Amino acid sequence: MAKSSDTDAGKSRAALVVVPRVGSPKDASGAAHTIWDRPGYLVRRLHQIHVAMFIEQVADGQVTPIQFGLLSVLMMRPGVDQATIGEEMGLDPANVAEILKRLEDRGLVSRVVDPLNRRRKLCLTTPAGKKFVQRYQQDMQLSQQQLLAPLAPAERRVFLDLLARLVEANNESGRTALRPGGQALDARSKRKKNSV
């Protein structure tokens, strides 16, 4: 058996790639930053934690937070169309359709053609859907309390206020905007400030 040499045509050697080590990025003051200094990363991680807590606490994992939220919207606003649900929750229409289909397949939601506009479908919780929300409402609230438990009561109020301010100020930057009750968040916050 012939030995191959480094110069054999058509053969290549694996090259050792040396990647220079880069220190942590620093700000103007020279302080180092890590991923834990990034608000977007922390928000994403907190969302993951919330979903895990919710799934553990509510309905033995039979429902996601977004599905439960959609059912809750339908309990408050029965007979709304899919586009309105998307605005109420800040969801893309395609996502709304998929969530509704899953809930409909489970018998928790029904969709009917709008008699005034046959191109629209109106969404309703079924009796089983209403019972489901009522049965797990307290568990949902407990999962929210569990998420906020590390904070003192005064800190919880500040945290929720800051979250609401960030969502309102950045609402139009998302793929879809949140419009509770069909109202733009900026208009809502202006009305609130003027009424104080």
Q: Which residues of the chain have pLDDT under 50?
A: 1-14, 19-22, 187-188, 191, 196
Q: What pLDDT does residue 107 have?
A: 98
Closest CA to 182 of 111, 88, 47: 88
Q: Give the Cα separation of 124 and 108 in Å (integer).
A: 9
Q: What pLDDT does residue 12 have?
A: 45
CATH class entry, domain 37-153: mainly alpha
Closest CA to 65 of 48, 41, 80: 48
Q: What pLDDT does residue 183 have?
A: 75
Can you read off the two tokens belonging to residue 163?
Answer: 């979250």
Residue identified by tokens 């053969």 is: 11
pTM: 0.75
Please give the distance of CA 156 from its chain centroid, rounded to a whole number.
Answer: 20
